[in-house]
Structure 1
Amino acid sequence: MQFLRRPDAILHISDQGPRDGRVVMFANSLGTDLRVWDLLLPLLPADLRVIRFDKPGHGLSDASPAPYSMEGLAADAEAICEALALQNVTFIGLSIGGLIGQALAAKRPDLIQALVLMDTAAKIGSAQMWNSRIAAVRESGLEPMGPAIMERWFTAPYRQERPEFALWTNMLTRTTVEGYTGCCAAIAGADLTESTRALQLPVLVLCGDQDGSTPPELVQATADLITGAEFRLVPEAGHIPCAEQPEATARLITDFLERTTR
């Protein structure tokens, strides 16, 4: 089991694949852990060195005291890169993971060579919305809001027909309150519009066509900020296309990797 000790937490990390492979770093969404990528990874090129990590309070990582900041979460990802001596990283971020990727690419253009932003934006929601959610989770936990979150994450056919759907609810509701609310605070305080507008690197922006958390028009607006960014919809997918439509997602990412990392 791999880990990195940070000032406020021990972070669970995963480093798989050839040491000399093309480096791809994944950052998962709010309320999920690094297993969110499990169905996608076997469908990607075999020569990748794949780095994943659990944010504070998610998966096996410690829950450092809330609130968190986007700068702090990006610093965690940066520290992982430095600890593993990574270079020429393609960063793939889902939802809050995409915010982390945008912040890290703006801070360390020498480190990040390309970005895949999935179901994310330069600014997601309002501070009032996130603060209301923080208060609700602190009062009652995550279980009461689980059904509503699942409706935004997954399409109706997936929720109704796939027996593994229940596992996603479990992953969400077993996230620590400190980790979940801490990351909510980081999103509430993040408006990366100007720094994202200034990015100058290859960027692929993906979104499930039925995403209820970061709708396609919001995600496309972020793609439009970045010179040369490509925007693609993943059909029949909600907020987590890497889990709901892994084959289609893998094809889009593989094509981007072949064009930008060879």
Structure 2
Amino acid sequence: MTRVPGRMLRIDGVPTHVLCEGSGPVCVLSGGLGSSWFDWDPVVPLLTAHRTVVRFDRPGLGLSAPSPRVPTAAGEAGRILRVLDALGLTGPCEVVGHSLAGFHAEAFARLHAARTAGLVLLDGSVEENPRSPFPPGLRIGTARLLAAALSAAGLPRALGRTARRLTVRAETVRHRDPAPGELVRRCYGTSRALRAGLLENATYPDVAAELAALRARHPLPRVPVTVLAAYGATDSPRELRWLERQRELAALLGGEFRISAPAGHLVMLDDPAAVARAVLRAD
């Protein structure tokens, strides 16, 4: 059996899988929708000589237990804060958010300015006009019913690993998942991971709208901000538009805009060196 690093801490009453490695100024790495701690494995060795690197699994993902609460921007920002407090890391830290977790990282910076030393968004989610035609209660209820039905049919155990592998292949230019098969089965062959992923997807419009409201009330602290966009170098209209949206996000936040190419959405797997450079840019 593959040895699993890290430890379990109780955060908001939820057993949460947390890793803390390295030394120096603190940075927190938070992955996108449905991700696990090992998605950052290629990046962490490039940082630990310079940073104290914190990773954790959100409820239901990786090795963390599920939570009865639905995800919110403020709730996930608070989770980052409480993970740091539980580790005794009470000073300012750099917050790194990938994809959906870019919302969480920015919310952290806006709500906990005194604890923020920098903000890095890796191919972060962008919603210029967040809205949904369906009310939150309907979306959340549907996600829970779907998770229950698929779990009862045994689909997570049968297809969880395959779904993970196909997703990684589709969202990288390397088209290969470096994660050990045993860990993938352990983390994605479960009903809790399926439920967590469906809930994160169902509440995505609400988290985006919540962040838009936070932007109007809570200014960003005066800290370095970097937006690193992934670009597959295909020059397709869709990719070029995505780069422009990422550039606009950097301008909105008053940050530096960078491009990682060639790289897919899972930029930490395709170009870990570019991610490390974005985190270490202040050195």
TM-score (norm 2): 0.75
- The residue number in structure 1 matching 2:12 is 7
Name the amino acid aligned to 1:202: P
Q: How does 1:156-171 map to 2 (within 5 A)?
A: 158-159=174-175, 162=176, 164=178
Gaps of 5+ in 2: 1-5
| CA offsets 1:53-107 (integer angstroms, 9 cap, x no match) | 0000100100112532222222111111222232120011111221111111111
Shift of 1:127: 3.4
- The residue number in structure 2 matching 1:23 is 26
Q: How does 1:126-205 map to 2 (within 5 A)?
A: 126-127=131-132, 131=139, 134=143, 138=147, 139-140=149-150, 143=159, 146=163, 149-150=167-168, 152-155=170-173, 158-159=174-175, 162=176, 164=178, 176-190=193-207, 191=209, 192-196=211-215, 198-200=219-221, 201-205=223-227
Tell me if the contact between 2:144 and 2:199 (Cα under 8 Å) persists in the aligned partners: no
In structure 2, distance between residues paired with 1:180 and 1:204: 27
Q: 1:134 to 1:222 in 2, by over 3 A?
A: farther
Name the amino acid aligned to 2:261: P
In structure 2, distance between residues paired with 1:81 and 1:64: 19
Q: 1:15 to 1:151 in 2, by over 3 A?
A: closer
Q: 1:17 to 1:69 in 2, by over 3 A?
A: same
Name the amino acid aligned to 1:119: D
Tell me if the contact between 2:22 and 2:48 (Cα under 8 Å) persists in the aligned partners: no
Q: 1:63 to 1:202 in 2, by over 3 A?
A: same
Tell me if the contact between 2:31 and 2:101 (Cα under 8 Å) persists in the aligned partners: yes
In structure 2, distance between residues paired with 1:188 and 1:113: 28
Name the amino acid aligned to 2:172: F
**2:103 aligned to which of 94, 99, 102:** 99
In structure 2, distance between residues paired with 1:199 and 1:29: 22
| CA offsets 1:190-245 (integer angstroms, 9 cap, x no match) | 22235347313210011111398993333222212112x01111001111111111
In structure 2, distance between residues paired with 1:243 and 1:163: 8
Q: 1:98 to 1:40 in 2, by over 3 A?
A: same
In structure 1, distance between residues paired with 2:54 and 2:48: 14
In structure 2, distance between residues paired with 1:53 and 1:234: 24
Shift of 1:51: 0.8
Name the amino acid aligned to 2:193: T
In structure 1, distance between residues paired with 2:256 and 2:42: 24
Q: 1:164 to 1:122 in 2, by over 3 A?
A: closer
Name the amino acid aligned to 2:277: R
Name the amino acid aligned to 1:245: D
In structure 1, distance between residues paired with 2:13 and 2:39: 24
TM-score (norm 1): 0.80
Question: Are residues 1:88 and 2:92 paired?
Answer: yes
In structure 1, distance between residues paired with 2:92 and 2:227: 19
- Identical-pair percentage: 24
Residue aligned with 1:257, SS: coil
**1:46 aligned to which of 44, 49, 54:** 49
* Range moving further from structure 2, 195-204 or 235-244: 195-204
- The residue number in structure 1 matching 2:64 is 61
Task: Find the structure with the greater CA-based Rg.
Answer: 2
**1:209 aligned to which of 220, 231, 236:** 231
Name the amino acid aligned to 1:34: W
